[in-house]
Amino acid sequence: MVPDRLDTDSTTANAPNAASAAFGRVITAMVTPFDHAGRLDERGTERLAAWLTRDGWNDSVVVNGTTGESISTTDREKSRAIRAAKLGAAAHGGKVIAGVGAGSTAHSIKLAKEAASSGADGLLVVAPYYSCPGQAGLLKHLLAVADATKLPVMIYDIPKRTGIAIETETVLAAARHPRILAVKEAKGDLEGATEVMGQTHLAYYSGDDALNLPWLSVGATGFVSVVGHVVGDQLTQLVQHHVHGRNAEALALHRHLMPLFRGMFWAPGAASAKAALGDLGLPGGPVRLPLVDLTEGQRRELRHVLAGTVTEMGAPADPARVPTGWLPAEAAVGRVGR
C-alpha cells in the first residue's frame, strides 16, 4: 500500500532533513495547462496541482519549469500559475516550487521575488541559458538569486539545455549558502554528485526519470520527474522500496516503468505529458510554439506505453506480473532531452 507521505525521518542518511522538509522527495515538473485558445487555464492549473499532490502521489510540483513551457509564458502568467497551483497543492499539504530560470541574473531575481510574493514554497534555479558564463559568473548568479528571497533553493544542472554545466567545485562553493539546499541533476554525473553529497549538506534529485533508481543507489533524496504526471504513486513506491531495502521490488518497478521513461520523451516532454493527461481526462490542453502537439500516430504509440504502465489505464498494479524483459517495439526510438 502506498503511504500518504513518504517516511523521511527514518532515512536521514539518504535524505538531508532540510531538503526533504523543504521540497519533499517525489516531485513532478508540472505542465502549464492552457485552454483551447492557448490561454493560461488557471482553474485547470489548480485542479492538476491538486490531483498530482493527492495522498500517495507527489510531495510537490515544480511550476514554470521547462516542462511548464516557461520559455513561452509571460512573467504575469508565471505568477498566476504559481498562485493557482498553490491553491490546488495546499489542499493535500503539497508544495509549489517555482522555476525562475532566465537568460540574465536580473530577470531571474525579478522572477524569484515575484514567485515569493505569489506564494511559492521554494525556487528552482537553472544556469542562465545561451550566455554560457564562466564558472565564476555562474556561482555569482546562483548566489544572487538565492539572496533575493528567503525561499529555499534547488539548483538545476542541465547543460544540454543551458549550454553550460555547473562544475563540482562550483556546486561545493554554492553549498555554503544557507538557502541552497539541493541540486536537480540532469547530466548523469553520479561521480561528481557523490563527491558533493559526501562533503556538504546538499540533497540530490534525479532530473532524468530513467536514472531514478541509480540515483537513489548513490544517495539521492528523490526525483523531479515528468512521468510523475501519470505514475506519481509508483514513484513514491519506488522510493519506499529503496528506503526499506526491498531491492528486488525496486528493480522490478524500475523495469516496469522503463517503457514510460522512454516513451514520454519520444517527443518533447511537455507535449507528451499533456497528451497523456488528456487521455486521463485531466487539464493540459495544447502546447505553445515552438513546441507542437503530438500527432495522432505519436499519441497511439504513447497510449500503448501508458496502457502497460499506468494503473488508471489498465496496467497491472503489481509490476511483478510484468515480464522484466518486456519493452514495446517503439522503445528503440531515441529519447528527446527534457
- pLDDT value at residue 3: 42
- Tell me: the pLDDT tens digits for 98-127? 999 999 999 999 999 999 999 999 999 999
196-239 pLDDT tens trace:
999 999 999 999 999 999 999 999 999 999 999 999 999 999 99
Q: Give a yes or no: residue 269 inside a domain.
A: no
- What average pLDDT does this structure show over 37-56? 98
Domain-located, residue 170 = yes
Residue 35 belongs to some domain of the structure:
yes
Q: What is the pLDDT of residue 6?
A: 44
pLDDT for 17: 77
Query: Does residue 175 register a pLDDT over 70?
Result: yes
Residue 145 maps to a domain: yes
Residue 266 in domain: no
Options 156, 204, 205, 274, the catalytic residue? 156
Give the number of other CB atoms < 10 A from CB of residue 330: 16
Q: Phi first, then psi: give them for residue 225, nearest 5 degrees.
A: -110, 155
Q: How many domains does the chain have?
A: 1
Choose, from 184, 204, 205, 274, the residue flagged as catalytic. Answer: 184
Give catalytic status of residue 205 as yes or no: no
Whether residue 331 has pLDDT greater than 70: no
| E strands, the chain, in order | 26-29, 60-63, 95-99, 122-126, 153-157, 180-185, 203-206, 222-225
Residue in the structure block whose three cell numbers are 519549469:
65
Q: Give the per-residue pLDDT at 155.
A: 98
pLDDT-derived band at 313 (thresholds 50, 70, 90) equals confident
Binding-site annotation, residues: 67, 224
* Annotated binding-site positions for pyruvate: 67, 224
Q: Which CATH number do you get for residue 44?
A: 3.20.20.70
Read off the pTM: 0.89
Residue 156 annotated to the active site: yes
Query: pLDDT at residue 330 above 50?
Result: no
Residue matched to cell numbers 507528451:
272
Across residues 149-162, what is the average pLDDT?
96
How do residues 247-287 score in pLDDT, each as one tens digit? 999 999 999 999 999 999 999 999 999 999 999 999 999 99
Separation CA 177–CA 165 (nearest Å): 19
Q: Is residue 285 assigned to a domain?
A: no
Structural domain includes residue 316: no
Q: What is the mean pLDDT of residues 77-96?
A: 97
**Joined grid coordinates for residue 295:** 500527432
Q: Would 257 be classed as within a structural domain?
A: no
Res 81: pLDDT: 98
Domain interval for residue 103: 9-247
Retrieve residue 30's grid coordinates.
Answer: 508540472
Model confidence at 314, pLDDT cuts 50, 70, 90, reads low
